[in-house]
Amino acid sequence: MMATLAEQLWTPHPVYKVPSREQALAMGPEKLRQLALEREELIRLENEDAYRFGYYLSCWSDADKLVEEQLLTAIFGGNGAGKSYYMARKGVEMMLNKPGAKVLWLHESEKPALDVQHAVVWRYLPKQFHEPTSKRSRIRNITYSVKNGFSDGRFVLPNGSIGVFGTYKQDVGDYEGTGWSLICADENMPLSWLKTLLYRLPRAQGKFIWGYTPLHGITPAIRHIVEGAVTERTMPAPLLPVNRRNVADCPPGTMPYIQRSLWPQVKIIYFPSDANPYANVEDHTKLVVRGGVTEIERRFYGYARNTVQAAFPKFSAVHVVPPERIPSLKVTRRVYADPAGARNMFMIWVATDPNGRRFVYREWPDVPTFGEWAVASEESNKWDGAPGPAQPTLGYGIIDYKRVILETEGNKLEEEEWEFCGEEIFETRRRHLDHGFDVRGPEGPRRPAGGTFDGLGCGAGTPRRARNHLHQ
């Protein structure tokens, strides 16, 4: 009889669990009935007003901290991990709490935007906005239907906050001039959209959330964010071998949970599929394990590997040192140059400390003056990127480059004579040029006839000024 009563009272729910038979017997009929009524009320409230009474996933709370602290929070997750639901609720939260806020939801095309984004945002709008109002308002404008979503792809709350829906098939220029309070971008966002909108946000003190399941591996936009990222927190990965080190900076049997990007104010959080109790995780698990390790990493843990060979595969955020931490005393300074005719010569200044650590502390052409040397490319076959604004040649000759080098190092040209008052540069191979230009052989340094950089004030293997090069 007790079991029959329980079957009549309990509505299935993934979070509010039904007591076991033993627990039900221990409670007795009255307590069991009271528990059932309270549980049914919680389920009813969640269905009627998901914003106020809906279940809040634990990974959402972790994402909240990142969104508060960072400019961009990238949420890479498995199928059904709750990324779209989180962004929908976060956008509604922004609109409710900040009068006059402007929130932009983006998707790949109009159909998934209607089927997913519009529907989920409507779900998270508080109950009072679902009811039509007889009062005319010059501000509030909320018209929604299951078939067409929000009228004209936008809605306005009584406090003046505006919600807008767009797709990547539109012109990004239509959205870049607006001072967005929050941008919630879903799925496969093009790199051009990421960069264009991201650079505009600081002016409006806005935030950016990007949620994506990397079904097809690394895309240019993902690579822009995750390349060189350092793992700050890990999560268990029971679907992968327990003794296998899945990611270089993670313990065996784990996957990244929170990572720090090379880019400032950017972090990544990974939502695993089993973080969402509302998803059918059991059937999803059966499918992904058949696909092997790559499918598990992408579709369950949201992690995509960069399978393209890199020149510095272990380079990460730990190698980016703040300027104040670069040693200035007891270092050996060298300059490396890559000559070219059709583009500018690229040069870096490197300081080596007594422990053999090398710090690249200057480059030319530099970003503040000339812009990037190379930029990420939307073309899938250009993993090295596309030429940046610093590459087109300035038409400099040898004399011009000599002047650039010496002036950059702090030396002064007065009355056609150089005063060597800048950094001491120790040249083990004179000035390091392209392969074969100036190399050290078994008998010491040798250089081609003509000595392109003769006249810089030093001979091969000596400091530019007659001082101990280790003491600046």
Return the bridge partners of 150, or none.
144
Q: How far apart are CA 333 and CA 360, in angstroms?
A: 10
Lowest mean pLDDT among 138-142, 231-235, 466-470: 466-470
- Site of tokens 């001039």: 177
Q: Is the peptide bond before 368 cis (omega within 30 degrees of 0)?
A: no
Name the band, by pLDDT with cuts 50, 70 and 90, for residue 460: very low
pLDDT at 464 over 60: no
Q: Render pLDDT for 58-100 as a digit per residue (tens, 0 to 9).
A: 999 999 999 999 999 999 999 999 999 999 999 999 999 999 9
Say yes or no to pLDDT of 425 above 50. Answer: yes
- Tell which residue, 79, 114, 119, 103, has the closest CA to residue 271: 79
Q: How far apart are CA 233 and CA 231, in angstroms?
A: 6
Of all residues in the chain, what percent carry a pLDDT higher than 90?
A: 56
> Alpha-carbon distance 38 to 52, whole Å?
17
pLDDT at 57 (0 to 100): 95
pLDDT of residue 166: 96
pLDDT, residue 374, reads: 81
Helix locations, 171-227, DSSP H: 173-176, 191-204, 220-226
Q: How far apart are CA 275 and CA 277, in angstroms?
A: 6
Q: What share of the chain is helix, strand, coil (3-state, %, to 5)?
A: 30, 20, 45
Are 253 and 236 in contact by the 8 Å Cβ rule? The answer is yes
| Cα–Cα nearest to 235, from 178, 315, 297, 142 | 297
Q: Which tens digit of pLDDT belongs to each residue from 116-168?
A: 999 999 999 999 998 877 666 778 899 999 999 999 999 999 999 999 999 99
Q: What is the pTM of this model?
A: 0.73
Using alpha carbons, select from 86, 14, 80, 84 the residue that is nearest to residue 300. 80
Q: Please write the tens of the pLDDT for every residue from 302-329.
A: 999 875 555 666 676 678 888 888 888 8
What are the tens digits of pLDDT across the range 173-218?
A: 999 878 999 999 999 999 999 999 998 888 888 999 999 999 888 8
pLDDT attached to residue 129: 93
- Residue 350 CA to residue 328 CA, distance in Å, equals 11
- The DSSP line for 75-137 is EEE-TTSSHHHHHHHHHHHHHHHSTT-EEEEEESSHHHIIIIIIHHHHHHS-GGGTS--SS--
Strand partners, 375: 386
Average pLDDT over the chain, rounded to whole? 84
**What DSSP string runs through 255-277?**
EEEEEE-SSTTEEEEEE-GGG-T
Q: Are strands 207-212 and 182-186 parallel, antiparallel or unpaired?
A: parallel
Is the model's pLDDT at 443 over the cut of 50?
no
Kindly report the backbone phi and psi dihedral angles of residue 441, in degrees, each rounded to the nearest multiple of 5, phi listed first: -100, -175
Q: Is the pLDDT of residue 281 over 60?
A: yes
pLDDT value at position 78? 95
Q: Is the pLDDT of residue 257 over 90?
A: yes
- Report the alpha-carbon distance of residue 447 to residue 427 in Å, rounded: 13
Among 352, 333, 346, smallest CA distance to 458 is for 333
Q: pLDDT tens digit string along 356-401?
A: 999 999 999 998 898 888 876 666 556 567 888 889 999 998 889 9
Instruction: Give the end-to-end CA distance of the chain in Å, rounded to a whole number.
Output: 90
197, 175 Cβ separation under 8 angstroms: yes
Whether the Cβ atoms of residue 152 and residue 92 lie closer than 8 Å to each other:
no
